[in-house]
Structure 1
Amino acid sequence: MFTSIETRQFCNRRFVSPSIDKKKKDVKKTGLGYSYFIAFSASLFMLLPGLSFSWPSVCIQKLYEKDPSLNPLGRQATIQEIAWITSLHNLGAIIAPLFCGMISYQLGKKNTILLFAVPHFLSNIILIFANHVWHFYVARFLMGVTTGCAYTIVQIYVVEVVPTNHRGRACSISNFLVSLAQDFLFLIGPYVTITILSAMSLVPTVLLFVLFGKFSPESPYHFVAKGDLGAAEEILIKTRDARDVSNELNSIIKDIGEHKGFSWKEFIMSKGARKSFILMACLVFFQQFSGINCVFAYQQSILAETKSTLSANKSLVIIATVQMISIFITSKLVDMWGRKKLLIFSYAGECLSIFCLGTYFYLLNNNIDVSSLNLLPLFTIITYLFSFKLGSGPLTSVLSVELCPPKYMPILYSLAAFILNLLSYVITLSFPMFWITFGLEVALWGFAITAFMAILFTYFLIPETMGKTFAQIQILLNNNNEVQEKKSLELISV
């Protein structure tokens, strides 16, 4: 660890060390391409929550079947059982963030990712042989443990490894792989049994252990925190186009050395830290209560309620195809438009589409002829999911990392992930009963209202973080005066 004097010495001079300079000469230069490979291999972890999120969409209908060849329970599942099977994934995801920060500090983020991939692997082993409802409860809970870790740590790891001006695109890889896993289930899931689907779902975990486990390094932040500056500089050299990474290494040393330790008193007294946490909590609230997990988990059931001429299975295939297109668009726009503009556009699309879907079900449930609108539900769900993938999906996690002060990141980002999964658990557990009690249209209109509120929140309160370092972002959060902010940013850049 570094004392404050040692930290100031490191930060006030150009970083040089004979042992590290010798190691630098031995490092084979690989550059930016390697940093993107690392981001991709780490993001393979996101295939696992992608499969978990999509699982109810394709498997819930099978559990309603009377045919034992499709339903391993041998009977129709009840509404309460389906609600628990769906929501226990979120309950497991609540647990993981409570331990991820502590484990990642001790073992490193790389080893933490590999460790938390194991529960997902075990869950699919259970599902291969599942024939009682409690088997599904346990499997879904284990899936959630992996999901909670994935959304807690992957984006932090990627942000710490990838150069600042490539954060947006690198973090978009995670979103692409989540959608890839979801689309795989949409395309294959309706046509195979739960047993076969579970066996196929073991493959991503094997890929993660091979590509990420063997060929990717630990985060340079972890090595600096443990005092191994040589290893940290070696990683920076391999993942940057520049040979001289001393300025960036000094910046990491400053973040880790001066800001070591978490103090609730300092956190409460820090305007920027308080503001960043409130913004993070609001971001995850709006993401969850705009209805994404409910629409995603129950979209096949929702489509089955419509008068569409297309079957629910065929509709899922169309949705999967459109989702993939949205990911490519997002990866291009995230570092061009900026976070704020893209997030507003995303919530506007969600608000309009989910409001129209609610209106359709209102007309349908009041015996109004909707035969001329039979493709509207599919179109609105496609537009809703497209809008989510375009902004609020990937950017909620990206902004949560960027807004969080490095000093408090392990605690606050884990806490934000905990809040996200808690909200997701509450809403997915209550959604089926809310649907039955008040009607689907009321729930969908509630999601639309939340999305509209998210537009206002983003426009007035979220700062633009594109292209800014962690230090510059914290200056924005700590200063109200715009002129002072510009002066501070100029000092940082110098």
Structure 2
Amino acid sequence: MNMHVWLVTIAGNILALTGDTTLTWSSPMITKLQSNDTNVNPLGQPITDDEISWIGSMQYIGAMVGIFPFGYLADKIGRKPTLLILAVPHLASFLIFAFAHDINLFYFGRFLGGVSLSSVYIVLPMYIAEICEDSYRGMLLVSYSTFASFGDLLPYILGPYISVKLFNVILATLPLIFLVVFGFKAPESPYYYVKNDDSYKAEKSLKTLGLNNKIAIHSIENEIESNRTKNVFNTLKTKNVIKGFIIALSLSSLQQLSGISAVLSYTEIIFRSGGSNFSAEESAIIVGVVLFLASFCGPLLVDRKGRKFLLICSASGMVVSQAILGVYFYLKDKKYTLDSVSWLPIICLVVFTITFNIGFGPLPFTITSEILPSNVKFFLATITGFSGWLVSFLVTKFFNDLNNYLGQGETFWLFCGFNALALLFVVKFVPETKGLSFQEIQRILSK
């Protein structure tokens, strides 16, 4: 494998790291914004429960809005410039958080972070899938989960212990690093050049990536030409596209119905209500560290064990962990004494985050980038991404309402039920794509 491909992938994944800090950013920041201490809380007064729910979920509204123009831009101006543009809203959001003294500015910053967050998950996997050989494509695609998981961890380990201003200034350096490294080192996708009939630039890009120019261009041309002969509307009616779209849409929605967005956004709040012997901050760090360490498993296993196997293991682990967690909170709500098992919420969320991160965390994006034809890929991936972020918003915005209405145990059982549904769906409908070319995958879906 050409080392330049690794360097470009790592540089691109810095943007994934930046994006995922927005998911857990609210966990330590909400605690600070609830404080009566004006030295801690830049707003000067504690935020309300309703403001907490908006802080926790506003980025998903931005995600739903941002996914449409940037998905379109990736096809029109190229993958690389689109990814560079996506760093700007992240940079702006962290600078707003660092200096804001008004709750509305925090809402706006969360919205901006979401605008970039959603599109990165669409454009970056597409870009990486297009610069890799089939033999190691899965490993590089899933590698972004390691960076994203470190992004999840950063707010847990930094946020509780430094000021709001310093914390967000530190986070603002991440998109700056991405802009410099990716801007100078990353070539444009050869798929983009071939699609726009620029074979000279395609060959130059492939040479930079260390790929066999003639074989690679021939393969790309065949894949693009097989779809170019059909207009988009006719392509959308074909069996392979319908099946691929249903699989991508279902995986995207089921990923968020697992409850991951609520767990990441309200980690400290969940542990505070669980009565653990560890502090909420310490418990959140434990979960974040495990999430990060577990992310190394995906790249190592995805091209050995396959996508489907990892998804089955992932869904099974989430079902078991959330079923037990639901029992714990149900008994706690019924006033049972659970001091002897106060460690159980940590163990359950550790198992949940490990199993999520080896399968349903990275693989829906990976599989989406593999099973959709090039001429409708961004259009359909945008729709699947929008549905996923819509579910994220609903889960995060109404998580506390579900706890109040159903009970905290029952809420986790609800997520458990969705994960059981995800398990059945994967077993029945999701094909294995390990080591297959894009054309081979389309032939499987056509059957």
TM-score (norm 2): 0.97
Match of 2:80 in 1: 110
Three-state SS of the structure 1 residue aligned to 2:25 is helix
- After superposition, residues 236-315 of structure 1 pair within 5 angstroms as 236-240=206-210, 244-260=212-228, 263=231, 265-315=233-283
- Alpha-carbon deviations, 1:31-78, whole Å to 9, x = none? 522111111111111012111001011111111111111111111111
Partner of 2:427: 459
Paired position in structure 2 for 1:84: 54
Of all paired residues, the percent bearing the same amino acid is 30
Q: Hey, what does 2:146 align to over in structure 1? A: 176
Instruction: Find 1:400's aligned residue among 354, 368, 384.
Output: 368
Shift in Å at residue 272 of structure 1? 0.7
| Change over 3 Å in CA distance of 1:187–1:214 after alignment to 2 | same
Match of 1:225 among 169, 190, 195: 195
Match of 1:39 in 2: 9
Distance 1:268 1:150, change over 3 A: closer
Residue 457 of structure 1 aligns with an amino acid whose one-letter code is F
Question: Deviation at 1:261?
Answer: 8.5
In the alignment, is residue 371 of structure 1 matched against residue 339 of structure 2? Answer: yes
Q: Evaluate the alpha carbon distance shift between residue 326 and residue 114 of structure 1 in structure 2; reply closer, same or farther with a 3 A threshold.
A: same
Tell me if the contact between 1:91 and 1:425 (Cα under 8 Å) persists in the aligned partners.
Answer: yes
Within 2, Cα distance between the matches of 1:39 and 1:123?
Answer: 24
Deviation at 1:258, TM superposition (A): 4.5
Paired residue secondary structure (1:323) = helix
Pick aligned residue for 2:92 from 116, 122, 128: 122
Report the secondary structure of 1:227's partner residue.
coil
Match of 2:348 in 1: 380
d(CA) in 1 for partners of 2:345 and 2:325? 6
Q: Unpaired segments of 5 or more residues in structure 1?
A: 1-30, 480-494
Show CA shifts across 1:3-30 (max 9, x none).
xxxxxxxxxxxxxxxxxxxxxxxxxxxx
Work out whether residues 323 and 389 of structure 1, in 8 Å CA contact, stay in contact via their aligned partners in 2: yes
Q: 1:37 to 1:101 in 2, by over 3 A?
A: same
Alignment partner of 2:127 out of 157, 166, 175: 157
Question: Which letter does structure 2 place at the counterpart of 1:56?
Answer: S
Higher mean Cα deviation, 258-267 or 369-378?
258-267
In structure 2, what is the Cα distance between the partners aligned to 1:162 and 1:264? 26
Is the contact between residue 225 and residue 256 of structure 1 (CA under 8 Å) also seen in structure 2? Answer: yes
SS in 1 for 2:329: helix
User: Quick one: which amino acid aligns to residue 402 of structure 1?
Assistant: E
1:262-320 per-position Cα deviation (integer Å, ceiling 9, x unaligned): 84531443011111111111101111111110111111100001221110111122222
Closer, same or farther: CA 306–101 of 1 in aligned 2, 3 Å: closer
Kindly provide the CA deviation profile for residues 181-211 of structure 1, in whole angstroms up to 9, marking residues without a partner as x.
1112111111112111110011111110111
1:212 to 1:262, Cα distance in 2 relative to 1, 3 A: farther
For 1:175, the aligned partner's letter is S
Q: Distance in 2 between matches of 1:311 and 1:425?
A: 27
* 1:84 aligned partner, one-letter code: W
Task: Tell me the distance in 2 between the aligned counterparts of 1:321 and 1:351.
Answer: 21
- Read off the aligned partner of 1:79 and give its amino acid letter: D
Match of residue 327, structure 1, among 295, 314, 323: 295
Q: Following the alignment from structure 2 to structure 1, what is the Cα–Cα distance between the partners of residues 402 and 40?
A: 28
Counterpart-to-counterpart distance in 1, 2:99 and 2:230:
45
Hey, what's the Cα distance between the residues in 2 that align with 1:169 and 1:258? 27
SS of equivalent residue, structure 2 residue 335: coil
Deviation (angstroms), 1:147: 0.2
CA contact (8 A) 1:187 1:317 kept: yes
> How many angstroms apart in 2 are the aligned matches of 1:269 and 1:111?
31
Task: Give deviations 1:368-408, integer Å, cap 9, x for gaps.
Answer: 11111110001111111111111110111101111112221
Structure 1 position 137, deviation (Å): 0.6
The range that moved more, 247-256 or 341-350, is 247-256
Scaled by the length of structure 1, what TM-score is found?
0.88
Post-superposition CA distance 1:389-441 (Å, at most 9, x none): 11110111101111112221021111111111111112211112121222111
Q: Secondary structure at the match of 1:202?
A: helix
Provide the secondary structure at the position in 1 that maps to 2:295.
helix
1:340 CA drift (Å)? 0.3
Give the counterpart letter for 1:317 in structure 2: I
The offset of 1:324, in angstroms, is 2.2
| One-letter code aligned to 2:399 | F
Contact conserved, 1:255 with 1:407, CA < 8 A, in 2? Answer: no
Inter-partner Cα distance in structure 1 for 2:77 and 2:273: 48
Question: Where does residue 415 of structure 2 map in the other structure?
Answer: 447
Q: How many residues align?
A: 447
What is the CA-CA distance between 1:464 and the residue it aligns to?
Answer: 0.3
Q: 1:358 aligns with which of 318, 326, 330?
A: 326
Distance between the aligned counterparts of 2:300 and 2:48, measured in 1?
44
Report deviation, 1:226.
2.2
From 173, 192, 212, the equivalent of 2:182 is: 212
